[in-house]
Structure 1
């Protein structure tokens, strides 16, 4: 939540409390002994003065048989509890992922890559992404959709792939991975809409309204404003192809803000302590951290973006990205000897919110590095 600063007198005692809180974060945490979840993967809990309770998954990405994994419920526009998604992915531990179109399509805002397949992305906006490459090293970079739509009239860029909102004037591409959400929700408020259904490289249906439209087993193009005008020239039977450039890595997930870059805090200022989730990488990309912060309670008030960046830097992170926070912040893990997952943080809503995606770790047997 953005805090507006007013010119008012603040009691000296209140200033002292804030100063003490800031000075003590993230220094001198009370840290529990790490719990080994798998070879190269540990879970550690930290209690910071403030108070703030932070849970951290630390992974050595070079460990044979350990790999980062993108999680979702099976389609892009569906939601499920993180523990269910982790079970489905065969994960050992995970945290919640990207911010999403809550209450509408429920689709994530940014990029998602699973096992080298690009599931969703934008050409512009919400591009800051945590990427794990084929070299088993991680990095924070801006990932932009590079996709072209070839029509009889020429080639046009796609503005979105399986996104909850088509960019103004753009053309969004929706594939069977999208799921059951009404594509009419992706162009709410648009001045001019065109929906075109493709099958086997040709137009099979075109309409001036996207309400009730779903891809099913087809590909659907949704245009708005200038994009709608471009698609309006199409007729049933016209050839249309969509080409998407190869993704940036094997696993990726977007967030709302880079908070640490080259060891320096670049987090946005003016935000109050809150529940938060973040991902960080060491300078060489070989080590990865996933952290959740409890908040909105007397036991843990949460952290600001700046304090979270400082905490991750203290662990050794060189770059870090903020993921969805608030009621979405969740960490699950399968502890040694346990049959299933347990929630390792204290979600501020008191339960696991249903979310569209997450990121975590799984193990594979006899994997060559």
Structure 2
């Protein structure tokens, strides 16, 4: 550890000393809660002073301040004990991959007691005039054990630079063994036609690899599929392909064909195949009535236990050590998740975006903060900062005991929640 990193880690550790004394948010020290969004939160009594409250069995909410060279950052945390059989986590999403909603609405819609925003997403299309931004997330997504989507090519992602060696297939999730973990999820899929056996290049993705064929199902939503044929594997802003084709498969047979990707809902049980370049040329060989079989699944690189839920982002902490190459200079309002106790404890962290705390943390400081909270693994999610991509998406919500709805506990950058494609929901059976 370099001296600079060692000094920073000592600073963060000092800021977390009071939190540790309170049981690292796992206890029941009911000493107040942060004000709702829109209010002006009072500064804690001193650096590192924590405020915590139990909001459900096995779920504690708290906030604390972190002194930095740029000023004070305020962190809001949901501490989830996955050992408690009454507690669980799952994917929050608005019922379609290509759709967005505020975290509070997503949480209230499914009765969650808390949650944070999730993956980075396709927020704008200024480089492709006339092409609709889909709002779909970058990485893989799994809800209730069901694979919703695969990862876009690395060059097509939105968000800050990832650590060396990390790809868009990186996920954080919880398996059916109720243990949180990080892993990579790759798409394994096949298209069988009368004349060929083709690899499936994408599943409900806003960007497909050059020359591939991707599948879109009813999980996609109603947004146009045109964006999936824009850009390249290495350049998000490259022009859209001029060589495209799509076919609709229902009941194992081709029932429709078109030269350009379409829009509108996809009927349940139907699959729309979108091809670009070489993939388009393969789809043009199909005729109405031809038999086509499409199969797909998401395959974990390391986990033997299937994920009950998973979403994308990128790792910042692994086995207790920050990943090499984390940015130590650019600070922003950020959202992240930490894993401790061999996956039995999940920490959901979101920084405050009000003006007095907007200096935020660097990615390297986020990793140190998660480590100071006891996490051995840490994962960065979408946040708020200088870029328009993340200006107001850093959100943590929690429901007070006995309340009918969640309350935004941090102050999102810009003063209001931004609709997001997914998040992590915390559930409780009281």
**Structure 2 length-normalised TM:** 0.76
Deviation digits for residues 245-292 of structure 1, max 9, x if unmatched?
36641011110x210011000162254110111111115111111100
Separation of aligned partners in 2, 1:318 and 1:212: 44
1: CA distance, partners of 2:82 / 2:310: 14
Farther-moved stretch of structure 1 (246-255 vs 85-94):
246-255
Which string of whole-angstrom CA distances, capped at 9 and with x for unpartnered residues, describes residues 289-342 of structure 1? 110012473334101000000000011111111011112110011011322111
Query: 1:81 and 1:122 mapped to 2: Cα distance?
Result: 22
**Deviations along 1:169-189, whole A, 9 cap, x unmatched?**
221111011111011122131
Deviation of the 1:23 alpha carbon: 6.2
Provide the secondary structure at the position in 1 that maps to 2:150: strand
- 1:272-311 equivalences in 2 (<5 Å): 272-282=330-340, 284-295=342-353, 297-311=355-369
The answer for unaligned runs of 5 or more in structure 1 is 1-18
Which residue, out of 155, 161, 166, partners 2:208? 166
Structure 2: tracts of 5 or more residues without a match: 1-5, 17-47, 125-132, 155-167, 231-239, 300-305, 385-391
Secondary structure class of the residue paired with 2:14: coil
CA distance in 1, matches of 2:282, 2:49: 58
Deviations 1:345-366, CA, capped at 9 Å, x for gaps: 110011010111111211236x
CA drift at 1:227: 1.3
Instruction: Map residues 218-367 of structure 1 onto 2, 5 A cutoff.
Output: 218-245=270-297, 248-255=306-313, 257-266=314-323, 268-282=326-340, 284-295=342-353, 297-326=355-384, 327-364=392-429
Choose the corresponding residue for 2:12, options 25, 40, 46. 25
- Contact 1:69 1:360 (C-alpha < 8 Å) held by counterparts: yes
Could you list the structure 1 runs, at least 4 aligned residues long, displaced by more than 3 angstroms after superposition: 19-23, 211-214
2:255 maps to which residue? 204
Question: How far apart in 1 are the matches of 2:80 and 2:144?
Answer: 18
- Superposed displacement of residue 167, structure 1: 1.8
State the shift of 1:155 in Å.
1.9
Match of 1:42 among 41, 53, 60: 60
Q: 2:13 and 2:360 mapped to 1: Cα distance? A: 12
Write the mapping of 1:71-86 to structure 2, written as runs, cut at 5 A.
71-86=92-107
Kept after mapping to 1: 8 A contact 2:9/2:368: no
